[in-house]
Amino acid sequence: MVLEQSKGASGNEMIENLRHFFAQDAEWDGAEKAIVSMRAGLTQHTLAATKELVDSVAAELSYQYALWNSDFLAALEHCRTVIGKLNHPDLRGYRALWLYLAGSSAWLAFTAGQLDKDEIAKDYFRSARRHLKASRLSKTVTILRKVSNGRVKCILEDHHQPRSWDRLSTW
């Protein structure tokens, strides 16, 4: 309703609507009642993958905190937890992102001396590429297409020494 009303509106009309909104006057009250009435006739549906997304939130936040604390092994474990929860076919692209983040965490752990080998990072990057290529998103979302084709370069700064690497194209 609001979108439909805004499509042909001039700048002055939009400002006038904002004035009604801020004043919450009779004009605004009428619009509010119309919106509530329209909303009452609609049905909200939960998407099939919603539960998996909700279940992964705690691990996603823990991952971010682990990164901030430079605990790259913990970040990798949190990535694994997230990846283990994202199994619905609609989440293939998001799962590929988390596989990439796991590879990045493993790579950071390796470069920080928290892992002896870079094989874990390589395995996750390879898996991220496979998932992206199988996902419809890799054809429509530019950054995912570049990642799946191995054309994204990541810059890591360690003690002000920039390092450039392109792991996805070489693994």
Strands (E), the chain: 154-158, 161-165
- Return all residues near 104 (Cβ < 8 A) that are at least 6 apart: 121, 154
Do 52 and 87 touch, CB atoms closer than 8 A? yes
Lowest mean pLDDT among 58-62, 95-99, 149-153, 157-161: 157-161
More confidently predicted of 129 and 66: 66
Q: SS3 of 24, please?
A: coil
| Per-residue confidence (pLDDT) for residue 141, from 0 to 100 | 53
> What pLDDT does residue 44 have?
84
Q: What is the pLDDT of residue 103?
A: 93
More confident of the two residues 138 and 79: 79
When pLDDT is cut at 50, 70 and 90, the band that residue 156 belongs to is: very low
b/e map 9-35, b = 16+ CB within 10 Å: eeeeeeeebeebeeeeeeebeebeeee
Q: Would you kindly state where each structural domain of the chain is located, as residue ranges?
A: 50-170
Q: What are 46-62's pLDDT values in tens digits?
A: 888 999 999 999 999 99
Average pLDDT of the residues of the chain: 80
How many of the other CB atoms lie within 10 Å of CB of 115?
19
How does pLDDT run across 3-47, given as a tens digit for each residue? 565 677 788 888 888 888 888 888 888 888 888 888 888 888 888
Task: Report the pLDDT value the prediction gives residue 55, as an integer from 0 to 100.
Answer: 96
